Amino acid sequence: MPIGNAYSSKVDFKLFEIKYEPDGNGPSEIKLEYARPSIGIDNKGRFVTHEIIGGTTVRQKIGEEPREMSINGVIKSDNQAKNLDKLRDAKSAKVSSNRLPGKTMKCQIPSVSTSPISDGGGVVIEDGKFLYNFKMKLVELTLREEDSSSSSDSGSSTVTVTQEDVEAAQDGPPLSANSEENLVVGEDGAIVPESEANSEEE
């Protein structure tokens, strides 16, 4: 097979759906002009070890660590270098590459660095634009971390209702501390047992 066709079936590497911190700003998608950078992937499992007295040691898998990607490549122009620098303020993004199992992954971007391709800088002869080397590290965003980030974005918070609050708000007798009945907010804004709210609606 000709060398020129070796990568013909590969999808260009790109970052998309990039979300930034409130004080950050940058492009929502970054696609490299020089596609197919060097990509390394690190996969780790989580294990616990059980030492059995008088027996063998048993190693049990309990899950996986978030997948990590290391990307090294070349970019052209000061603008693209600046766009990568702006990823410092990114909260999350999606990466697309045929190198990934599943081809896409939601991720966070712990580190990005850009540097001139050579001492004193190097330019493309055709258009005179400077070339830069870049290094980037991506870490898979797990479902739990994603939910936590979404809660933070929406400004939601958890309100704890104590037994004293319930007793002060309801008209009936105090609930037993062992009661498993759900509490709801009634039409008048008071916290009442779910059965009582249902009877009022009927």
Q: Which residue, among 86, 81, 70, 69, has the nearest Cα to 21 in the 3D structure?
A: 86
Q: What is the pLDDT of residue 26?
A: 94
The residue with tokens 């008088």 is: 54
**pLDDT over 70 (residue 77):** yes
Rounded mean pLDDT, 14-32: 93
Q: What is the pLDDT of residue 9?
A: 55
Return the percentage of the chain with pLDDT > 90, whole number: 35
Those residues with Cβ within 8 angstroms of residue 123's Cβ, 6 or more apart along the chain or in another chain: 129, 130, 131
Summary mean pLDDT of the chain: 78
Domains defined for the chain, CATH in brackets: 3-150 (2.40.30), 163-201 (no CATH)
Q: Which residue, among 92, 74, 78, 82, has the nearest Cα to 33 in the 3D structure?
A: 74
Query: Who has greater pLDDT, 79 or 143?
Result: 79
Query: What would the pLDDT profile of 118-157 be if each residue is shown by its tens digit?
Result: 877 787 777 878 899 999 999 999 765 555 555 555 554 4
Q: Which two tokens stand for residue 128?
A: 């005179």
Q: What is the pLDDT of residue 167?
A: 56
**pLDDT over 50 (residue 175):** no
**pLDDT over 50 (residue 36):** yes
Using CA atoms, how far apart are residues 158 and 139, in angstroms rounded to an integer? 28
Using CA atoms, how far apart are residues 109 and 111, in angstroms rounded to an integer? 6
Alpha helices, H only, 17-114:
78-85
**pLDDT over 80 (residue 1):** no
Query: What would the pLDDT profile of 84-106 be if each residue is shown by its tens digit?
Result: 999 999 999 999 998 888 889 99
Q: How many CB atoms lie within 10 A of CB 98?
A: 13
**pLDDT over 90 (residue 184):** no
Span of 22-31, 43-52, 58-67, 119-128 with lowest mean pLDDT? 119-128
Q: What is the pLDDT of residue 156?
A: 45
Q: What is the pLDDT of residue 13?
A: 86
Q: Which residue, among 46, 87, 98, 51, has the nearest Cα to 67 in the 3D structure?
A: 46
